Structures are given as structure tokens and as C-alpha cells.
A and B are shown apart, each in its own frame.
Chain A
């Protein structure tokens, strides 16, 4: 199958750290991507993991465990502008299949 599971909603306060988890089905799996989408906006690419481990890009990090079919997006030093939906996406060949998205609300 192609499905990905992630929580529908997460709330955190400004300055905190939040982790958004994603589990996926392994058939034909190449790697896991993360995208951010603000309301009314286009999804924008954040990160990609093909191998196990942690990839860090500024305040955002992404982790993959292929043996556990699991990954997460870690957002540190949360800012109000980080309020958005975050999607994990499973890559198989040149195609991406997306999870349902996690709506992150950052409160003051």
C-alpha cells in the first residue's frame, strides 16, 4: 500500500520544540520528504531523508528509520510563523504520495 499516517493536529507554544511523526508503508520506498503549507499557499519543500539518521536545516530537522518505517520532523525554537500544515511524503521512483497533513498551531 501507499498510505502514510501522521497526527492531524499539534499545538505548541512559541519557543518550544515540537516533533511531528510519520509512519509509512514500505512497498517501493525510496525516501521520506517533508513539506510545509500555510493556509492559502503552496506546499514548500523542507527536507528529504533517504538514509537512516537525522538531517538538520536550521531550526528544522528530519529523521528517518527505515527499519521502523518511521520518520519525524522536529521544529525547534518555534515561532508564530511556523503555524502551518506539515505533510510527510513517501517517494517511490519519481512520484510522491502524501500523508494527510499535521496542522501545527503555535500559541504565544
Chain B
């Protein structure tokens, strides 16, 4: 495996469900990110884990909860989501001192 891997690729969940998105990076990077990509909107930064410190966008609802157990793995726990949370959720990683982020292919989430 190389790069940034996200699972699952597609997820359909009801508003009362609990699910988790998983991201794994095989690049030795020291920072990982969750972004939300909705139609007709810019990519929205949700959470940053950098050198084991968490930074979050204060506008992200508490029904999204990140977890970063180590520098290679990142999770996004989802509970009681709303239909407007349907979007592509992208994970990315980077290394301090380098300029580019490496993105995963995303999880396409549909909330019904």
C-alpha cells in the first residue's frame, strides 16, 4: 500500500446510526487532516492533527468526532448525522517543511 488510503469508499447511513471513517497514510508524514467536500462549495477543513496536537474548525458540529491514535491512522466517528452532512470526506497528510498535501480518494457519505 502506498499513499493515503481511505475506507470505506462509499457509505450510506441513517440519521440514527453510528459509523466511522478510516484513513491510513504510508508516507511517514507527521500531520493528518479531515476535509469535507460538498457540491458547489470549497473544501472545508474540519480537523488537523499535527505532531499529535489537534486543531479543529470551530464550526464543525459535535456529531463529528476525530481520533488519531498514531501518526499513520486517522478516524472520523459519525453519530446522529443530518442529510446535509452528505458529502465527500477527504483525508490528507503532509510533512512539516514540505508544501504539498497528499489526499486519499475520499469516502462518499450519504445520510438518509
Closest partner residue, chain A, to B91 (CB atom): A42
**A98 vs B41: C-alpha distance in the bound complex, in angstroms?**
10
Selected interface stretch from B42-50, B64-72, B77-85: B42-50
Provided the pairs A42-B105, A42-B106, A94-B48 are in contact, do residues A87 and B99 lie with their beta carbons within 8 angstroms?
A: no
A-B contact pairs, 29 of them (CB 8 A): A4-B42, A33-B100, A42-B4, A42-B90, A42-B103, A42-B104, A42-B105, A43-B92, A43-B101, A43-B103, A44-B103, A45-B100, A45-B101, A45-B102, A50-B99, A87-B43, A91-B99, A94-B48, A94-B96, A95-B45, A95-B48, A96-B45, A98-B35, A98-B42, A98-B43, A99-B42, A100-B40, A100-B41, A100-B42
Interface residues of B (CB under 8 A from A): 4, 31, 33, 35, 40-43, 45, 48, 50, 55, 90, 92, 94, 96, 99-106
